[in-house]
Chain A
C-alpha cells in the first residue's frame, strides 16, 4: 500500500520561500508522476504541478514563476518550493500520486487522476 507523508514548516513569513517534502513509502518514486495540490481553508482544490521520476515537470501556469518541484530517488521523496509567498498561499498542501497509465493490448490511457494522497499539511503565511 503506497503511503505519502508531507513534512515541512507550518509557518512561513511573507516574501519568504515555502518548502515541503513528501516521503513515499510502500512504493518507489522511481516510477509514475507525483503531484502537489493545495486547498486554502474552507475553499476548493488547486493543482500546483507534477514531476516524473526522470525530473520532468509540469506546473500550473498561475504559479509557474514561483514553483519548483524536485525529486530525490535516493531518499524516495519529492519536494515543493514556492517562492515569494503571501497570505494567499496559506493552505493545506497535499502530495499525491498520479495514477499510472491503464494499459490493455497495445493501448494505454493516461487518466491522470490522483489515487494516493498524503494527509496534508497546513502552511500559514504570516509575520
Chain B
C-alpha cells in the first residue's frame, strides 16, 4: 500500500496568517492527491483535487502544489471558518489512503 505522511499533526495560527500543510507519499502517485477539510461533526469537504485544482465553490485562498512525492496545501490568509482538520487522500491506487490529518487551531 502507498503510505501518506501528513505534517504537522496540529498547528496553531491566527486569522490572516498564511498556513501550509504537507503530505508526502511513500512512492510516486503522479498528481493523484486530494485535500479535504473537515469540521467537527461534519463530513469532509473536498478543497483541492489532482494536486492543485481548486474544487468548484472553494475560496481561492486555498491552493495546492506538487513537487515529486511532496504535496502542499496552502491557505493564503486564514479566515475564522478555516479552523478545522485537513486530510490528504491519494487516489493513484487501491486502497485509497488518507493522511493522518492536521488539526488547525486558533492561536
Q: Tell me the residues in window 16-60 of chain A with beta carbons closer than 8 Å to chain B beta carbons.
A: 44-47, 58-60
Besides A45-B36, A47-B98, A110-B91, 5 new A-B residue pairs in contact (Cβ under 8 A), listed by A number: A44-B100, A60-B95, A114-B46, A118-B43, A119-B43
Query: Majority SS of interface residues in chain B?
Result: loop
With A45-B44, A45-B87 as given contacts, are A111 and B49 in contact (CB-CB < 8 Å)? yes
Q: Are B94 and A58 in contact (CB under 8 A)?
A: yes
Q: Mark A88-127, 1 if CB is under 8 A from B, else 0.
A: 0000001010010000000001111111011110000000
Q: For chain A, residues 57 to 73, give those with C-beta under 8 angstroms from any C-beta of chain B.
A: 58-62
Let me know if B34 is at the binding interface, CB within 8 A. yes
Provide the residues of chain A in CB contact with B34, threshold 8 Å. Answer: 111, 113-114
The reply to whether B95 and A99 contact each other, CB–CB distance below 8 Å, is no
Contact of A109 among B45, B50, B89, B96 (CB under 8 A): B50
Chain B: how many interface residues by the 8 Å CB criterion?
A: 23
Is there contact, CB below 8 Å, between A113 and B49? yes
30 A-B contacts (beta carbon < 8 Å): A44-B87, A45-B36, A45-B89, A46-B98, A47-B89, A47-B96, A47-B97, A59-B95, A60-B94, A94-B43, A94-B44, A99-B49, A111-B32, A111-B50, A112-B91, A112-B96, A113-B49, A113-B91, A114-B34, A114-B44, A114-B46, A115-B46, A115-B55, A117-B43, A117-B44, A117-B45, A118-B43, A119-B42, A119-B43, A120-B43
